[in-house]
Amino acid sequence: MLEYSSMKLWKYIFSTLLLVLAVIVLAISQLPDSNLHIISCDVGQGDAILITYKEIQILTDGGPDNSVLECLGRHMPFYDREIEVVISTHPDSDHITGLVSVLQGYKVGKILINPIDSGTEVYKALVLEVGGRGVQVVNPTTGMQLGIGLIHLDILNPTDELFSKVSPDDEESDLARYKRIKDTNLYSIVYRLSLKDFSGLFTGDMPPEISDSLAKDWSNGHLNYIKVSHHGSINGITENLIKVTTPDIASISVGKNRWGFPRPEILDILNRNNVQVLRTDQMGDVEVVTNGEKMWVR
């Protein structure tokens, strides 16, 4: 009887040690490298972009449902439950729905968000989660610069002039300061990310007038990467911007849709200007990697 109990104990210890060893090996295999990763998550017809650099994560938008959580699970270590920065470019449901679940499942250090109240139930849910969890709120406008480790973000839109045209709703609120407007795309947060020699432009759903305005005032030189706005709609990126920024790679977040996105006109612009096009509807998660000097697609 004692011999049987002893054997059972050793089996338990051995199984426990194997489990601990497996966890250690898995954790080591998921340790981040020293490269910057830009992952356009395959969330269907919507936007969610995860940027990782060592222990830092920046999530821009959350897609139309909870599938962003699967993307985070694929590209973040299982033991890392903190996202340093979330950026909500504008309050459309195909960009913010998944952010509610992200806030519920991860610790978020800071959220960059437009204080425009879209009046939708999902936006109300997002506001409640942000407020209830004490997340630091930042309302970015043109000219603002943020440093996140070695990553630099330059905010290019929206401008203070744009906000001056919106009626205040609650001037004390960082989440619902302005009343609902028809064209929330116009107020999309647009930012340029740089790391060493790498430069990428993230555009939300910015419309053509913002694209052309950026092109007119562009002084940041060549882009390595650009996120095509509004899923490749003709009401998005313009050839003027592509010509002055000369990007190498363009990523399009898009799923099955009734509008024919990405539109042939947008694909023609990119092809004419020798830009490599990567699409989530064709590739699943689109991952671009850079060490700050070279860039490649994984």
Sketch the domain layout of the chain as residue ranges: 1-30, 31-297
Backbone torsions φ then ψ of 168, nearest 5 degrees = -65, 145
Going across the sheet that includes 249-252, the strands are 145-148, 151-157, 190-195, 198-202, 225-227, 249-252, 276-279
For 189-202, the DSSP string reads: -EEEEEETTEEEEE
Backbone torsions φ then ψ of 93, nearest 5 degrees = -65, -30
For 274-298, the DSSP string reads: T-EEEEHHHHSSEEEEE-SS-EEE-
- SS3 assignment, position 109: strand
Q: In the numeric block, which tokens belong to residue 47?
A: 């936007």
Digit-coded pLDDT (tens) for 45-87? 999 999 999 999 999 999 999 999 999 999 999 999 999 999 9
Please give the pLDDT value at position 178. Answer: 87
Given 3.40.50.11810, 3.30.565.10, 3.40.50.2020, 3.60.15.10, which CATH number is that of 31-297? 3.60.15.10
Amino acid code (one letter) for 5: S
The H or E element that residue 23 is part of is helix 2-29
Please give the pLDDT value at position 25. Answer: 43
Please give the pLDDT value at position 235. Answer: 97
State the Cα–Cα distance between residues 195 and 180, nearest whole angstrom.
Answer: 36
pLDDT beneath 50, residues of the chain = 25-29
State the Cα–Cα distance between residues 281 and 44, nearest whole angstrom.
Answer: 7
- SS3 assignment, position 31: coil
Please give the pLDDT value at position 29. Answer: 46
Q: In the numeric block, which tokens belong to residue 173?
A: 């609120």
Q: In the numeric block, which tokens belong to residue 142?
A: 């043109």
Asked if 199 and 220 count as a contact pair (C-beta separation under 8 A), the reply is: yes
Determine how many CB atoms are found less than 10 A away from the CB of residue 124. 15
